[in-house]
Structure 1
Amino acid sequence: MIRNHLQKINRLGILRRLTNISPAFFAAFMVLLITSIALFTPPYIGMADNGDYFRILYGNGVYFNVPDYTSQYFGYFIPKYGIFQYFNENNTVVVSSQSIFIQAAVWLNKLFIDALVFDVRVQAAIYTCLYTIAVYLLVESITWKTPRKYGYPIAILAIFLFGDTAYTAYFNSFYGESVAFIMMIFLLASGLLLYRNRYNDYVMLTVFTLSGILLTTSKQQNAPVGVIVAFIGIMLIFIRKGKTFRILTASSLACLLLAGVGTYAFIPKEFVNINKYHAMTRGILMESKDPEAALKPFGIDPQYAILDKSVYFESNTTVDLDSEILEKSFYSHYGFGSIVKYYITNPGQAGQMLDLAAKSAFIIRPPAMGSYEKDVGKPWGAQTNFFSEYSELKKHLTPRTFGFIVIWISLVMGLYLPSFISALRSRNMRKAARFPLIVMLILIGLSGIVVSFIGAGDADLAKHVFLFTAAFDLVTFLLVADAIRRRLIQGDQD
């Protein structure tokens, strides 16, 4: 019976058409379908505000218009906001590439939906379109010229990972992780497409540069990303011998470097102090057996040990955290460099912080933020389990220790190193590009961990180490995909 139905369908040419769909198109289409169901059909899935939205909203002409908005912090996803109708006196609190997408969404919202009320799902639609393209390019970069018997299992793996709502729920929010993840995929995909010599090199170089800049500037803690991509990207200069390409590549890398430096330079003083406060109270003091002694290397009065484990946003504090006294006797005594020096001289404490960061480094969706609107009737803070199998398996099965991260990095680099050495020996710089791209992603992920605990202690680690969890998934996906298509050790020959 089934065979007869299949024969009938085949006579209509449907099976033939289905088998002509590339693995990349199949993966992208299914991710688009799953994401659209999750974000744009009831009950709508998004992410609750943890109190950070104000940093990006008001400067972009959007404001909170729900009367009980603050009471829904962490608990419920709120999809609609007001649009300023008159002069907006609010300056942008943070400089972020995220503003580009918010402004585009507000413009489309005014043009097609409503000039007074902004629906965050318009922004989600923009992200979803970009995400679909990014997934297509990534899968295409791996499955191009690969037999379908290998290509389709890779496509299914991509759907399982990239369709997960732990990632796509960010699109219905104002968190910078949306831009960061999409641009990380574009960055890896364009790099791999240059490595495979697929599509026009100049177009892929443009995608590589723009995605790197947008990733770097999406969040202030991503400032090191521009520096990492710029230095690792030097290898791209040598994949072609033409002078024009090399000059353009070098110029692009210079722009990436400047983006990293600029992102760091434009961090507002207000946030510098908040992060510095947490770096000390939720980092150095928190993990020290003798908080008073821990302050001595910084020349800080031991009495400030009373701030141990405190949070900047607490309503009742023992001292005014914005006072001039605290500025002179506390904040001015330490910075990023002195904190790094402290951890180097106290490796045991550094190890404790790395393990603490690793506990959150494999959780894609922070457990604190709810997924549903209040009217849906779900409990406060409830999170969706729709198409979340990958993120749940990752959270429960991955050993969440920094030791595991070291083992994972060693395994990945050990497996990819032989093809890199072989390409260097044959002087084929294009085929040598894959290994540096993987190293680049690993360093980006590690920067997320290191910058997080050095720059802000354990404050909001679940979101601050997002770069690592994304880098881990992308590198692991590439590792498994290359193993499936039998190109892990020897690399691509086309």
Structure 2
Amino acid sequence: MKKINYIKNNCLIETVILVIIGIILLNTLFIYPIIGRYNNGDFDRLMVYGGLNEMGRNYHEIYDGFMHAKYLVTDPGVFLPFYWDWVSEAVLVKFAVVLFLIVNGFRSNIFDIRYLSFFYCAAFLLGIFLVLRYNRLSKVTKLFAGVFIILFFTSTCYIAYFNSFYGEAGTIIFFFLTIGTYLRLITMSKPRIRDFVYFFIASGGFLTAKSQNLPLFIFMLIIYGSLYVCYSELRYGKEILIGSVFVFVFCFISYFSLTNTIKENNLFQSVFCGVLQQSKTPEKDLTELGLNKKLVIFNGHSFYNKDKGLDPLGKDMMKEFYPKISNWKILGFYLSHPGRMWEKIEDSANNAYAFNKPGNWNFEKNQKDSKKLVNNFRIELIDKFQAFHHNVYVFIVFSIMYFGVSLFYLITSKKRDIKLLNLMIIFILVAGASQFVLPIIGAGHCDFGKHLFLLNLCYDTMFGISLLWCMHIIPRVLYAAKFKIRKRKILNG
């Protein structure tokens, strides 16, 4: 009874919101027919950390274009602390496999993907709870934030990743956990050491969820540095430095665990499916990159395609291409050709929000049920306003306004928590806006829509933040206007 009264008096809105989200997650991800994502060749990097393998016996059974729910536990990979292509989700995969083995008494080796989804959902709900507990939210704005999260972030375009081995699932949950633990930390007058630990674990998990997120460590350092400045007087400086080093070490491990094949693939795609994509002067571009122009024969060629005698990992390429190219050279090329850079930014805007309603590929084979109730609100909104979601100028204008307001509060506010809040708000902008360029530099147009996932996640979050700010500021503006009118009337008799 005491717990019920506590919930009723202290966190009723949060509880109602979480229950609704929990029901949506349960129905979408756990009750058959379940929705997820199919393996396009990326699953192996994460599956190895659980000692998992596909149940299919050949290529066509494994890559059949359908979501798979069952996997074989075949080796003790679950005991590997680190290996090639390490990402933060590897820890959750290990937890999921261990839980599966314990629940089944170590008698079954048929792993169910929903065990992993359970951990993703638990972390997702925790992150949302922490966000909604932010003490500067009124009951009205808290309720609005909860409704916004339900409509946007429980849409199948986001949560379907939980039933998969894609890094996007980790990006989602650690993104919300980072924001939630940060909000909890900055609103405490006397935070505990464990509150800093929670934030550093969450932010480290976000940065290492995908190799694509690693460059954001540079911008996250600004937040770490600001925490150090703000809290060193409370004798937390040492803990913040240790936490920063901790995150750096794991980012270092994640980056240098990338296999040569991954690095070579990304470099190949960033040049031949990026720089040379729609280029009118491909041979000249190669020369400016310091490469032999004869390599133009690979223009538009896939890294995994060896047709016509073109082997992306052949002797000539290993000698003439990979040793002479880097992401820094590619960035330098775009900086020296601002027109080409702008073209790529427009391409990113045109490929943003490449979300689709669930199709056969989101279900297990022969399991699709068109009558299954799921949340497609975000997808339907995109379909209805295609031009709005793919207009680069909309992104630019919104980003400038968002940044201007955040910077204003950052500079003018005298309250520590407001300054720190707006630093995180700006970090979300940086994380999202950087995706207009980073995917192009890192992998060209290869799997472009998927590589823009963080852009979608960040701008949806920024849109929600902007709406909350409007709800907060409009009543104040109206009240101030009414006050001025009354004052004039009094002065005028």
TM-score, normalized by the shorter chain, greater than 0.5? yes
Aligned position for 1:9: none
> Structure 1, residues 145-187: CA drift from partner, whole Å, max 9, x if none?
5443343223222221222121111110000111111101111
Distance 1:377 1:440, change over 3 A: closer
Q: TM-score scaled by structure 1?
A: 0.86
- Correspondence list, 1:167-186, <5 A: 167-186=158-177
Question: How many aligned residue pairs are there?
Answer: 469
Aligned position for 1:308: 299
Contact kept? 2:33, 2:368, Cα under 8 Å: no
- Correspondence list, 1:239-254, <5 A: 239-254=230-245
Q: Quick one: which of 3, 8, 29 aligns to 1:39?
A: 29
Aligned position for 1:371: 362
C-alpha separation between the residues in 1 aligned to 2:372 and 2:227? 42
Q: Quick one: which of 35, 49, 52 aligns to 1:62?
A: 52
Give percent identity, aligned residues only: 20
Contact kept? 2:174, 2:206, Cα under 8 Å: yes
- Correspondence list, 1:110-149, <5 A: 110-113=101-104, 115-141=108-134, 144=135, 146-149=137-140
C-alpha separation between the residues in 1 aligned to 2:337 and 2:476? 39
Deviation, 1:476, is 1.9
More moved, 33-42 vs 54-63:
54-63
Contact kept? 1:278, 1:457, Cα under 8 Å: yes
More moved, 299-308 vs 38-47:
299-308
Contact kept? 1:366, 1:463, Cα under 8 Å: no
> Structure 1, residues 60-86: CA drift from partner, whole Å, max 9, x if none?
310111346634637311100111157
Deviation, 1:317, is 4.5
Distance 1:71 1:359, change over 3 A: farther
Distance 1:463 1:437, change over 3 A: same
Contact kept? 2:127, 2:179, Cα under 8 Å: no
For the residue of structure 1 that corresponds to 2:92, the secondary structure is helix
Q: TM-score scaled by structure 2?
A: 0.87
Specify the code of the residue in structure 2 equivalent to 1:435: N
Aligned position for 2:261: 270
**Structure 2 stretches lacking a partner, 5+ long:** 478-493
Contact kept? 2:352, 2:389, Cα under 8 Å: no
Aligned position for 1:27: 17
Aligned position for 2:490: none
For the residue of structure 2 that corresponds to 1:115, the secondary structure is coil
1:446 aligns with 2:433: yes
More moved, 478-487 vs 300-309:
478-487
Contact kept? 1:371, 1:383, Cα under 8 Å: no
CA RMSD in angstroms comes to: 3.0
Aligned position for 2:341: 350
For the residue of structure 1 that corresponds to 2:236, the secondary structure is helix
> Structure 1, residues 31-84: CA drift from partner, whole Å, max 9, x if none?
111111111111111111112112222353101113466346373111001111
Distance 1:25 1:87, change over 3 A: closer
C-alpha separation between the residues in 2 aligned to 1:175 and 1:146? 33
C-alpha separation between the residues in 1 aligned to 2:149 and 2:264? 41
1:189 aligns with 2:180: yes
For the residue of structure 2 that corresponds to 1:373, the secondary structure is coil
C-alpha separation between the residues in 1 aligned to 2:9 and 2:59? 50
Distance 1:251 1:346, change over 3 A: same
Contact kept? 2:45, 2:85, Cα under 8 Å: yes
C-alpha separation between the residues in 1 aligned to 2:402 and 2:421? 12
For the residue of structure 2 that corresponds to 1:81, the secondary structure is strand
Specify the code of the residue in structure 1 equivalent to 2:378: Y
Specify the code of the residue in structure 1 equivalent to 2:444: G
Answer 1 or 2: which has greater helix percent.
Answer: 2
Contact kept? 1:230, 1:257, Cα under 8 Å: no
Deviation, 1:88, is 9.7
Contact kept? 2:69, 2:114, Cα under 8 Å: yes
Deviation, 1:406, is 1.7
- Correspondence list, 1:67-216, <5 A: 67=57, 70-71=60-61, 73=63, 75-84=65-74, 92-113=83-104, 115-141=108-134, 144=135, 146-197=137-188, 200-216=191-207
C-alpha separation between the residues in 1 aligned to 2:178 and 2:282? 42
Contact kept? 1:24, 1:136, Cα under 8 Å: yes
Q: Quick one: which of 389, 407, 412 aligns to 1:417?
A: 407
1:483 aligns with 2:470: yes
Distance 1:172 1:87, change over 3 A: closer
Contact kept? 1:216, 1:222, Cα under 8 Å: yes
Specify the code of the residue in structure 1 equivalent to 2:448: L
For the residue of structure 2 that corresponds to 1:63, the secondary structure is strand
Contact kept? 1:366, 1:462, Cα under 8 Å: no
Specify the code of the residue in structure 1 equivalent to 2:377: E
Deviation, 1:462, is 1.6
C-alpha separation between the residues in 1 aligned to 2:46 and 2:90? 7
Aligned position for 2:228: 237
C-alpha separation between the residues in 2 aligned to 1:162 and 1:199? 32
Deviation, 1:367, is 8.6
Q: Quick one: which of 48, 53, 70 aligns to 2:43?
A: 53
Aligned position for 2:375: 387
1:437 aligns with 2:424: yes
Contact kept? 2:49, 2:77, Cα under 8 Å: no
Deviation, 1:231, is 2.4
Specify the code of the residue in structure 1 equivalent to 2:66: Y
Contact kept? 1:442, 1:471, Cα under 8 Å: yes
Deviation, 1:361, is 2.6
Aligned position for 1:466: 453
Contact kept? 2:25, 2:154, Cα under 8 Å: yes
**Structure 1 stretches lacking a partner, 5+ long:** 1-13
Deviation, 1:412, is 0.7
Deviation, 1:129, is 0.9
Aligned position for 1:7: none
